[in-house]
Amino acid sequence: MLSKIHTAGLLGINAFHVCCETDIGDGLPGIILIGSLSGEVKEAADRVRTAIKNSNFSFYPRKIVINLSPAEIKKEGCAYDLPIAISILEALGIIKSDILRKSMFVGELSLSGELLPIKGILPIVIFAKDMGFKNIFLPYDNLAEANIVKDIKNIGIKNLKDLIEILNGEKTYTENIPKQNPTIKEYSDFSDVNGQILLKRAVQIAVAGRHNILFIGPAGTGKSMIAQRIPGIMPNMTDEESLEVSKIYSVCGLLNSKEPVLKIRPYRAPHHTVSPQALSGGGRVPKPGEISLAHKGVLFLDELAEFKTNTIEVLRQPMENKTVSISRVNASIDYPADFMLVAATNPCKCGYYPDRTKCNCNEAQVRKYLSRISKPLLDRIDITVETSMIRYDELKGDFNNISSEEIKEYIEKVRQIQLERYKEYGFFYNSEIPPAFINEFCRLKREDDVFLSNLYEMKKMSVRGLHKILKVARTVADFNEHINIEHDDICEAISYRSLEDKYW
């Protein structure tokens, strides 16, 4: 008898349809799995056979041929265990149910027949709903995550025996949603930060227009402290953004029943020893890297000059295209990478330049240290701001510093200005203005245009660098509640790129 059961696999952060076909006939007994399978999928034969036996179902040894189509896409992971088991049991006549054709099955089986949770359940359930399936049978431990998706019946199963009885109508499925005790993470508050007025101003401009920013200054001046507070002043994620980010975390297995969906913007801070693959994604079985895990949030690279050059250079393409492209022989995968880069670096190896009472590095050593950060990468950073040592009197007392909530409220207003301005153009932030629209949205007065033209020629700036100044000036103007870019706005934007001349 031939059986066909529907399931799904993962390619990047998206699911694709897989049909599990089983034929039982005469021949040498055994289970033969075909269809471009990885090692863990081929091992399903032994797991499924033992799980069926330990669920108190038995069958005579037969020749069982199982095909997972389409054969041109390689199947990875253990989520095919359950559909393989159901397909075998239907082909044997143990399961007889009309709902098999309109249902999807995913899950890993233990030898005892228990269903184990799998990674990537969220994109699979979304795909099942989009394909028109009425039900999806999945491990109980994945149920909280799956229930984010509406308009499809998510059926959480604890073991194979229960599932067989439910399919055969011998047992009624009782929805038992796992208890959730979500803990909402809160980021540290800006009111804790004394001093560094210029740095805090630059950060607010950067967040308001979603500009990449680099902090440069001596060790212990609050670079990391401020970076950790940036997600707390970013606008709240929309439901669409939350679902998109949650899909990435689901594929990486970073969601659980207590936190089945991400509600706050991600903050990723990989160590400077991170490999290029861990940063960008990839591997034998490709999966998202730190860049994609920071999607719609902040990627903080502390000690940027300590990163290996070939590691930080992988940032260049994602910063422009907002995607990470990974090519393999059998497939090309694109991971989303719409992140705000926040980087920090010391000005020299010892970390105290230009304080000559502590730093003995000469100019050549300083430039050699900072040369690890290439000019093409610097060109993609909109704002560079210098930090300074904080005076003792700035650390003492209550300065009534502005809170993250107050900063966020004002940034939301600036964001609304941008959303209204670009609502018909398909982009949302000043940093995303395409070159074709620069002249339209970053129009300058004649005298400012001449001023910027002279600077462009004198500094031998790149076109990208010029556009970065104009985009930042547009954000500064919005922040200052100017309808058009004023002279002060363009001067402030230029000042945020002046450190390249000083250090590079």
DSSP-assigned letters across all residues of 14-49: EEEEEEEEEEEESSSSEEEEESSB-HHHHTHHHHHH
The residue that leads in pLDDT, 359 or 343, is 343
- The dihedrals phi and psi of 110, each to the nearest 5 degrees, come to -90, 170
Measured from the Cβ of residue 162, the count of other Cβ atoms closer than 10 Å reads 17
Work out the average pLDDT over 157-169.
Answer: 94
Give the tens place of pLDDT for each residue, 322-354: 999 887 766 788 999 999 999 999 989 888 887
pLDDT (tens digit, 9 = 90+) per residue, 266-282? 999 999 999 999 999 88
Please, are residues 310 and 275 in contact by the beta-carbon 8 Å criterion? Answer: no
The CA-to-CA distance between both ends of the chain, in Å, stands at 73
pLDDT at 397: 60
Is-cis flag, bond preceding 139, omega within 30? no
pLDDT at position 221, please? Answer: 85
Name the band, by pLDDT with cuts 50, 70 and 90, for residue 224.
very high
What's the distance, CA 5 to chain centroid?
Answer: 32
For the cut 70, the answer to whether the pLDDT of residue 184 exceeds it is no
User: What letter does residue 383 receive in the DSSP assignment?
Assistant: E
Distances 458 to 450, 453, 455, 462 between C-alpha atoms, Å: 12, 9, 5, 12
Task: State the pTM of this model.
Answer: 0.89
Q: Are 304 and 214 in contact (CB under 8 A)?
A: yes
Given a contact cutoff of 8 angstroms between Cβ atoms, the answer to whether 125 and 156 are in contact is no
Dihedral over alpha carbons 288, 290, 292, 298 (to 10 degrees)? 160
Of 53-57, 79-83, 223-227, 498-502, which gets the smallest average pLDDT?
Answer: 498-502
The pLDDT of residue 290 is 96
- Three-state SS sequence of 204-230: HHHHHHCCCEEEECCCCCCHHHHHCCH
In terms of DSSP H, where are the helices of 11-142? Answer: 39-42, 44-53, 81-91, 121-130
Amino acid, single-letter form, for residue 454: N
